Structure 1
C-alpha cells in the first residue's frame, strides 16, 4: 500500500434521501440562482454569497438531532438521511479558509449539509497549544451550526497511527467539546481520523475509552469511529470489514468511518464499502477524486461510482478539502482564501467545480 493521503499535509515541506436544501437552492427569492449565474470578472472580487433569510429551512432545522437507526443515519423522526459536505484542511495551516464568507458560500451557494472540522493533533496542531486549537475548533463548529449545517468534530490523529498515543489529549479535547455542545443537535464526534499500523482490537479499545467521555456530557450525539488501516475497514492492510462486523465497538448510536481516494482506491474499496454498509452504519468522512496523496489527475468516473453507491444507500460524506492548498484535492485556487474569494466557479479548481455540483 503506498503512503496514505494524509501525508499530503506537509510531506513536501509545505504547510500544507437528500435534505431539504433543494428548495433553498431553487428559490430565486433567496437570490441564490441569480448569484450563481453572474460571471466573475478576472481580478474582480466576487459578490458575497447571499445568506438564507431568517426562518429558512436548513439541514438542522429540518432534521433535528440525528441518530443511528439500523445501518443508517436518521433524522429525529427516524427517516434515513444523507449529509453531503466538505472537510476543512488542518486548522493550523488553513484557518483563513474557514471564514464567514466561505461558510456562507458552503451553506447557501453550495447547499452543503455538513462541515467536518479537522483538528490535527500532531504536525503543529493540538498538542502544541490545546487551548488555542480547542477554541478554533469551537469557532468553526459554531460557524457551521449557526448557518444550519451539521458539524463533524474531527480528532485528526494520523501519525503515530495508534490512537492510544493521544488518549489523554483526546479525553481532554472531547470532554471540552461535548460539554459545550451537549445541547446542540448539530454536532457529531469523529474520535480517530485514520488509525494505522495497529490491530482492530486496539482501535476498538480506544473507542470504548473515549465514547464514555463524550456520553457523560452529550448522551445523544452520533459518534464516528475510525477503522484501521487509514479508515479502510482494514482493506489497505489486506483485511476487510468482517473484523469489525465480528467484533463491533460496545456502544450504541455510533457509526464507522471509511475513507477513499478514487484514483488509487478502486473496485476492492468500492466493494468493501458496499458490503460493510450492508452490515454496519458507515459515514465516509473523507474522500478525494485524486490519488492517495490528494494529488494528481482527477478520476471523476471512479469517484462517481462511489457517489452513486453512497446516494443509493444514504451514506453521508464529506470531501477533502475546503482550502486553497496547492494540491489538486483542495477545492479553491491558490490565493483564494487570503483574498477572501469563495463565491462562484471562477475561484475553483477542477475538483472544486465537480464536487460543488455533487453537493448541490
Structure 2
C-alpha cells in the first residue's frame, strides 16, 4: 500500500535556515532513511530494484535514499559514464516514489578529496545538469575525507559547489568534514567542530556531514555533536548501530542516545546500509537480493531495529 502523501509532496523544496534543514515553507524538517552500500556491489538490479524501493517507500516509510557511489574500489573511476547512468537511474526511481535522493560522492580512499577533484567536477556537472529542475536532490560532495584538515576540504568544496550551482541554484549541498566526517573529532590535530564554525564555506543551503557508528562512538562524541548542532547545520548522512568497521555487535542503546540528540536538534539521518552483504551493517539477510522478497522476515536484527526507527515506531 502506498503512503497517502510522499515526503517530497509534504515538504517540497528543502532549504537551510540558520542551523536547520527546513521545508519549503521554512519549517524545520527531519528526514529519516537509509544509505545503499556501494552501488558497484549492491546497486541497481541487486539490492536496489523497483521492489526494494517500493518496500523502502511504503513499508519502511523512508523519506530519503542515499545513493553511495564509490569513486575507487571498482567504482566511478573505472567507468564514469556507466556509474553516472546508474546513479541517474536510481535518482529517477527514488523520485517516482516521492523520496529525497542523497547523491553521495563516496570519498574514502584516498581520503584527500582533492585527489578526486576532476572526477567530482565531471560527475556533479553531469548530474546537476540533468536534474536541475528536481526539488528532491541533496548533493553530498565528499563522503568521508580523512588524513587532511578542514582547510583542504573547504578548498575542495569551494571548487565543486560552483559546478553544481551553475545548474542547480537551490538544492542542499552537504560537505564532508575531517576525520571520516566526524566534524574533525577523529582527525589528529583538529580543533573539532570549532574549525568549521570559525571558517564555514560561504553560500546558501549548505550543511555539514557527521557520521557515527554507535558501538565505536559514545558519550564524548554525542556531547560534541550536541554542542556543534547549536552552531552548524548538520546532516548525518551515514550512521550505524555497529562498529565503525561495519562489523561487531550492534549497540542499540548507544544508537538510541544518538537518535535522541538528532531528534532534539532536528537532524536528518541515513542508516547504513540497505544491502544484503555480510556483516552487522547489512539491513537485509544475505541472499535477499536473489530471493527478491523485501519483507520483514528477510531483515537482519539491525534491519528490523532500523526499520522501526525510520517508521518512528516506539520500541
TM-score (normalizing by structure 2): 0.96
Number of the residue aligned with 2:70: 120
How far apart, in 1, do the equivalents of 2:99 and 2:149 lie?
34
User: Is the partner of 1:168 in helix, strand or coil?
Assistant: helix
Contact 1:84 1:112 survives alignment (8 Å): yes
- Structure 2 counterparts to residues 144-155 of structure 1, below 5 A: 144-155=94-105
Number of the residue aligned with 2:34: 86
How far apart, in 2, do the equivalents of 1:81 and 1:156 lie?
25
1:293 aligns with 2:241: no
TM-score (normalizing by structure 1): 0.84
User: Is the partner of 2:298 in helix, strand or coil?
Assistant: coil
Aligned with 1:337 (options 289, 297, 302): 289
Contact 2:149 2:187 survives alignment (8 Å): no
CA-to-partner distance for each residue in 1:61-91, whole Å, 9 max, x for gaps?
1111100011000000000000000000000
Aligned with 1:164 (options 114, 117, 120): 114
How far apart, in 2, do the equivalents of 1:120 and 1:235 lie?
23
Number of the residue aligned with 2:139: 189
Contact 2:103 2:137 survives alignment (8 Å): yes
Query: What stretches of structure 2 of length at least 5 have no aligned partner?
Result: none
Number of the residue aligned with 1:20: none
User: Is the partner of 1:279 in helix, strand or coil?
Assistant: coil
Contact 1:208 1:251 survives alignment (8 Å): no
Aligned with 1:269 (options 196, 208, 221): 221
Q: Which runs of 4+ in 1 moved over 6 A?
A: none
Number of the residue aligned with 1:77: 25
Query: What stretches of structure 1 of length at least 5 have no aligned partner?
Result: 1-49
How far apart, in 2, do the equivalents of 1:125 and 1:214 lie?
21
Deviation at 1:237, TM superposition (A): 2.1
1:232 aligns with 2:232: no
CA-to-partner distance for each residue in 1:168-194, whole Å, 9 max, x for gaps?
110000001101111000001000000
- Structure 2 counterparts to residues 198-209 of structure 1, below 5 A: 198-209=148-159
Aligned with 1:62 (options 6, 10, 33): 10
- Kindly tell me the number of residue pairs found equivalent between the two proteins: 307
Contact 1:286 1:318 survives alignment (8 Å): yes
Deviation at 1:269, TM superposition (A): 1.2
Query: Which one has a bigger Cα radius of gyration?
Result: 1
How far apart, in 2, do the equivalents of 1:323 and 1:142 lie?
19
